[in-house]
Amino acid sequence: MTSNAEVSPPGSPQGARPRLLAVGDNVVDVYPERGVMYPGGNAVNVAVHAQRLGAQAAYLGAVGTDRAGEIVLRALRSEAVDTSLTRIVDGPNAAAEIHVVDGNRVFGQANAGVSVFELTPDDLAAASTYDVVHTGECSNIEGQLGQLARATSRLSFDFSERPWEYVQQYAPSASVAIWSAPSGDLALAKRQIERLRALGPETAVVTLGAAGAMVLQEDLTYSPAPELEVLDTLGAGDAFIARLLVGLAQREDIRMLLSAATAYGTASCATFGAFGHPSTIDAQFETVPTHLADRIPNETHDS
């Protein structure tokens, strides 16, 4: 059946405070050379930045009962992110070793800890109450991605630098699909974004590291990144995603929004860690164990 009535896109009315739920990974990012560690993880970073940007943000994930888990949970609560859907699971929190080389974050060893979990019917019911739900390739919920997509009107998924085969499998479930082309090659990124959009997402995004980002909806929009002295690129892509999702939920003009999101992501490179809250490394995290076979994929990408 067809109708001539105009259908509004999902999201909050322009100017209203959008509700965003970030689902999945969290981690402590351990900087051995600096002797500090920071809370992070794609889902956590997006939730924190969305809250800072005026959204009502919540985090659905699992933290451990060790000091690292306490650091993540304390940071979320201090940032006023809703943690009512956050599980506290007996065991070690996820951790990743981070090295900064010429401003670029380089991942070392990693341990997934207790961060992997399954969505419950109650989780899916809660997700249905949000304007936008975000998750990504580090969250290990691919097996339930279809359920999550059906539960929400707008699902965002961060593919980071995953290969085409992975993107092809899961992008059809996403309303907003974000893929990374860190080489900064604009011609390559244009081909990537066209392939991505053809899989079904209403908003396809390709981030280009220091070269900026592009968005394809009905039309292609590109924004270069502003110049900035870079200290640490960790979490820049997540900051970009948060600004983009908040703006999409508020139906901002896409050209202005992409420029604002690129600038916001770039600005996050001026400090260490994904969003601050440093803690000194204790004996548990002087070195993330190298014997662990369970590794966490790159949780963030440059913007």
Question: Per-domain residue ranges for the chain?
Answer: 19-130+141-151+221-279
- Domain spanning 19-130+141-151+221-279: CATH superfamily: Ribokinase (3.40.1190.20)
pLDDT, the chain, mean: 88
Query: Has residue 87 got a pLDDT over 80?
Result: yes
Q: pLDDT value at position 285?
A: 61
Least confident stretch, 23-27, 101-105, 186-190, 257-261: 101-105
Average pLDDT over every residue of 58-67: 97
Average pLDDT over residues 232-258: 96
Report residue 61's pLDDT band, with 50, 70 and 90 as the boundaries. very high
Question: What is residue 106's predicted lDDT score, i.e. its pLDDT?
Answer: 66
User: Where is pLDDT greater, at 297 or 185?
Assistant: 185
Mean pLDDT of 179-194: 94
Percentage above 90 pLDDT, the chain: 77
Instruction: Name which of 118-127, 242-251, 273-282 the model is least confident about.
Output: 273-282
| Beta strands at 56-60 and 87-89: parallel, antiparallel or unpaired | unpaired
More confidently predicted of 171 and 107: 171
pLDDT at 63: 98
With bands split at pLDDT 50, 70 and 90, how would you rate the model's confidence at 133? very high
Distance CA 53, CA 74 (A): 19
Please tell me the predicted confidence (pLDDT) of residue 211: 95
Q: What does the pLDDT read at residue 26?
A: 97
pLDDT of residue 296: 39
Look at 4 and 227; give whichever has higher pLDDT.
227
- In the predicted structure, residue 176 carries a pLDDT above the cut 50: yes
Give the separation between CA 86 and CA 115, rounded to whole angstroms.
11
User: 277-291 pLDDT, tens per residue?
Assistant: 999 997 666 544 433
- pTM for the whole structure: 0.89
Asked if residue 37 has pLDDT above 70, the reply is yes
Quote the pLDDT of residue 182.
86
Cα separation, 107 vs 160, whole angstroms: 14
